[in-house]
Amino acid sequence: MRLLVVEDDDAIAVPLVGGLERAGYTVDRAATGAEALVRVAGVDLVLLDLGLPDLDGADVCRHIRSVSQVPIIVVSARGDESDRVLGLELGADDYIVKPFGLRELIARVRAVSRRAAPEPDVIAVQRVGRLEIDRRARRVTVDAQEVALSPKEFDLLSLLGEDPGAVVSRHQIMDEVWDPHWYGPTKTLDVHVASLRKKLGDPTMIETVRSVGFRLRSQ
């Protein structure tokens, strides 16, 4: 997922971009409103500071909305209700007030992108190479042989299977398979991945993407 951070203040933008990248996002940054309008093409979500040096953030928001349905989270230094209402009237999807924590922001980013996403096409019975995932029956087979998985192992495989070949970040896995507010070590995830690989009989089906997460091999 590609985010555009529109923020003129380096002291805020630099740690913010770093934190979002560590959370698994690809992040572009624009330091001005004009740059934001150029860079918005192709991003999946915009984080827009309203206090910009060149253009009025509200105009930037309105302009982006007039050309794109990309989700927008407005960032403001002030928390008063009029700003909040203004942000939403401009077509923003959510609103966050400075100072905010990275975790709070990531939770908003997830919530907004989930709402913006089209209905997920969760395939009931999905074949990926030698693997078949039957989500209705919660059964998994490899070469038509059933593999007995624990509930968490099944959920993990099912999540990776939603987009074979795509990396799912550790954080997202913890969030969706374990606890929506997970924060801390992810050792339990490694234990489940190891067990899943063993049960599937082919450790290369689930690939590790170092310091990011895991992906299901697409073939």
Give me the residues that bind Ca ion (CB under 5 A), please.
8, 49, 51
Q: Which residues of 122-135 are buried (b: 16+ CB within 10 A; e: fewer)?
A: eeeeeebeebbbbb
For Ca ion, the closer of residues 60 and 200 by Cβ is: 60
Sign of CA dihedral 33, 35, 39, 45: negative
> Least separation, in Å, of the C-beta of 90 and Ca ion?
16
Q: What is the DSSP letter of 96?
A: E
CB 189, CB 196: distance < 8 Å = no
> Least separation, in Å, of the C-beta of 3 and Ca ion?
17
What letter represents residue 127's amino acid? Answer: R
> Least separation, in Å, of the C-beta of 81 and Ca ion?
20
CB 73, CB 94: distance < 8 Å = yes
For Ca ion, the closer of residues 100 and 138 by Cβ is: 100
For Ca ion, the closer of residues 13 and 156 by Cβ is: 13
For Ca ion, the closer of residues 35 and 49 by Cβ is: 49
> Least separation, in Å, of the C-beta of 53 and Ca ion?
7
Q: What six digits make up the tokens of 197? A: 């690989």
CB 191, CB 214: distance < 8 Å = no
For Ca ion, the closer of residues 10 and 179 by Cβ is: 10
For Ca ion, the closer of residues 51 and 164 by Cβ is: 51
Q: How far apart are CA 61 and CA 188, in angstroms?
A: 41
> Least separation, in Å, of the C-beta of 38 and Ca ion?
18
CB 96, CB 104: distance < 8 Å = yes
Q: How far apart are CA 167 and CA 148, in angstroms?
A: 24
Q: Which residue is nearest to Ca ion (CB)?
A: 51
Beta-sheet pairing, 139-142 with 213-216? unpaired
> Least separation, in Å, of the C-beta of 52 and Ca ion?
6
